[in-house]
Amino acid sequence: KQEVTQIPAALSVPEGENLVLNCSFTDSAIYNLQWFRQDPGKGLTSLLLIQSSQREQTSGRLNASLDKSSGRSTLYIAASQPGDSATYLCAVNLLGRGAQKLVFGQGTRLTINP
Amino acid sequence: DARVTQTPRHKVTEMGQEVTMRCQPILGHNTVFWYRQTMMQGLELLAYFRNRAPLDDSGMPKDRFSAEMPDATLATLKIQPSEPRDSAVYFCASARTGSDTEAFFGQGTRLTVV
């Protein structure tokens, strides 16, 4: 059974710092990996998708890496801003029975202090 | 502006009542997921459909939950009878099959069973 773990569970840093969120998964047979952001009381917003054949993806101040063989992904946020405060979730997309199935970690609650 | 639409956004009901939640996936997406989010369990996959056919509903309590896709533009999740432990936020997501496609989530239905 695929398990996804995110460390740390919560992180608080001052504005302007660069930071890294970690995601690990137990089964490397994944289709792709997706990072999401969730604001309190809101839905999930997709940030980045990394295909299983890729090593990293970048979008603005965000960079996500994937090391499938070791079962790890990181989300790097550069020059953090208070607006980045949210819960960040990673999800692995399992290829099972010919279809896709997202399994989520518990998330990292990020607070950026002005 | 393509988005997944869920209705209702909020629902308060009494224990024992039937609850129906609806989801309109993004046009052209052939995979639809239902997730439940609670503080304790995080995001749990309840069921998912591909091309309107149910592929996996192993995460769903079979005795009271049912999920259907009567057509390509509508997915429903029904709880009958509802119980207080069903209180959670229910999310619908849709995607196109393929390693390079992202899953997009609706805003969720916040269900409270009293």
Cβ atoms B4, B56 nearer than 8 A: no
Chain B residues touching A46 at Cβ < 8 A: 102-105
- Amino acid letter for position B27: L
pLDDT digits over A16-39, tens only?
999 999 999 998 888 889 999 999
Residue type, A113: N
Q: Helix, strand, coil % (nearest 5) of chain B?
A: 5, 55, 45
pLDDT tens profile B64-111: 999 999 999 999 999 999 999 999 999 999 988 766 678 899 999 999
Nearest to A114 by CA among A8, A10, A17: A17
- Phi and psi of B68, rounded to 5°? -145, 160
Residues of B in contact with A32 (CB under 8 A): 99-100
A80 interfaces chain B, CB cutoff of 8 Å? no
- Which has the minimum average pLDDT: A68-72, A76-80, A104-108, B96-100? B96-100
Residue A99 or A42, more confident: A42
A55 contacts chain B (CB < 8 A): no
The answer for residues whose C-beta is within 8 angstroms of residue B63's C-beta and 6 or more apart is: none
Give the per-residue pLDDT at A96: 54
Candidates A37, A47, A100, A108, partner chain B, best to mutate (most B CBs within 10 A): A100
